[in-house]
Amino acid sequence: MAGLYVHFPFCAAKCSYCDFYARVRKDWKPYVEALLREISDNDVLVPATLYFGGGTPSLLPAGELARVAEAAQTAFGVQAFDEFTVEVNPDDVTPEKAAAWRAMGATRISMGVQSFDDNHLRWMRRRHTAAQAEEAFGTLRQAGFGNLSLDLIFGFTGLDDADWMQSLDRALALRPEHISCYQMTGRWADPDEARCRRQYAQLQQRLAAAGYRQYEISNFALPGHESRHNSAYWTRAPYLGIGAGAHSFDGDRTRRWNTPDIDAYVATRPGGMETLSDREVYEEKLMLALRTVRGLTLSTLTQAERAMLAQKEPVLEQLSKTGKLMVTADSVRIPAGELFVSDGIIRSLFPD
């Protein structure tokens, strides 16, 4: 299932923890025109999903977003996308914008809340309060959105278990269809690994008790509400990225990207390309599949890839004995209780 991603690298303010490409500026009209040109230059796939990410897409006037959505439908011959997600910030949500997002065909909203603690929100330099996030959620529901996702962050300096549980409980009280939770990285990360692991376990337990199914390291959903767009990334399905800093993949071994520079993108759209080696394809298959609860299906590997995995038979046996891997005749997966340390497990299966 192919996907189309459109990047809107604009923010009203830069969050303290963010390392995504985005700029605090509002000269988006030339950028939107550049997006429309790039969309018209591409007809290499028929996308089933559309994702507006950022940055902060909701910062732009709804009419500009609608122009991009309509251009995508026309260029790719899609009457309606199976799933159309827009990332929003709570302080951008108004009844008028929510209605406009619905009118342009959006079926799903992903709202970056990050925390329901006002002190933590101020520290993160977020532009909203916990109460505003709850109000925005209600506004989206009233506009008719039946598929809402909330983003939260754990594992940062100053977050204790009680605060984390309070944020989780306030999120669950809203009953979103989907919740994404990410561990803080970089200089703001909590150096206490035991506490971070405990908070991740609390997350898994609390959401499972509330009826959410974990389907990837950071993602949980009520049954039937998994993100179709993001799930395609983990199966190495083809996708096209439009915009400054956006990446594309042909579903095999070719990756392309646009320059992460707004002005250069608008002017000439420079970019790059790489062709993955056999080893890189194998490692990517492992890395992406083992991020998911479902794990790696061995029948998806080529004969050469099976041979590379077979070289790790002693490692597989040891990880299986210690409960860090579940190995069957046709699958390898990381148990939910060990997903927190998945990076180390996955790296141990890479070729020497």
What pLDDT, on a 0 to 100 scale, did the predictor assign at position 22?
A: 52
Angle between helices 303-310 and 278-289 (to 10 degrees): 70
Q: DSSP letter string over 301-350?
A: S-HHHHHHHHTTHHHHHHHHHTTS-EE-SSEEE--GGGGGGHHHHHHTTS
Burial of residue 115 (CB within 10 Å: 0-12, 13-18, 19+) is buried
**86/63 Cα distance (integer angstroms):** 14
The per-residue pLDDT for range 86-106, each reduced to its tens digit, is: 999 999 999 999 999 999 999
Tens digits of pLDDT across the chain (352 residues):
799 999 999 987 655 555 555 566 678 899 999 999 999 998 778 999 999 999 899 999 999 999 999 999 999 999 999 999 999 999 999 999 999 999 999 999 999 999 999 999 999 999 999 999 999 999 999 999 999 999 999 999 999 999 999 999 999 999 999 999 999 998 899 999 999 999 999 999 999 999 999 999 999 999 999 999 999 999 999 999 999 999 999 999 999 999 999 999 999 999 999 999 999 999 999 999 999 999 999 999 999 999 999 999 999 999 999 999 999 999 999 999 999 999 999 999 999 8
Pick the CATH number of 278-352 from 2.40.30.200, 1.10.10.920, 3.40.140.80, 2.60.120.430: 1.10.10.920
Q: Give per-residue pLDDT as tens, 27-60.
A: 889 999 999 999 999 877 899 999 999 989 999 9
User: Which of 3.10.20.810, 3.30.56.10, 3.40.50.360, 3.20.20.70 is the CATH number of 3-233?
Assistant: 3.20.20.70
What three-state secondary structure class fits 210? coil
> How much is the pLDDT for 28?
87
Judge whether 248 and 272 are in contact, CB under 8 Å: no
Helical H runs in the chain?
Answer: 28-40, 62-76, 95-103, 118-124, 130-142, 161-174, 193-209, 228-234, 262-267, 278-289, 303-310, 313-321, 342-347
The domains of the chain are located at 3-233, 278-352
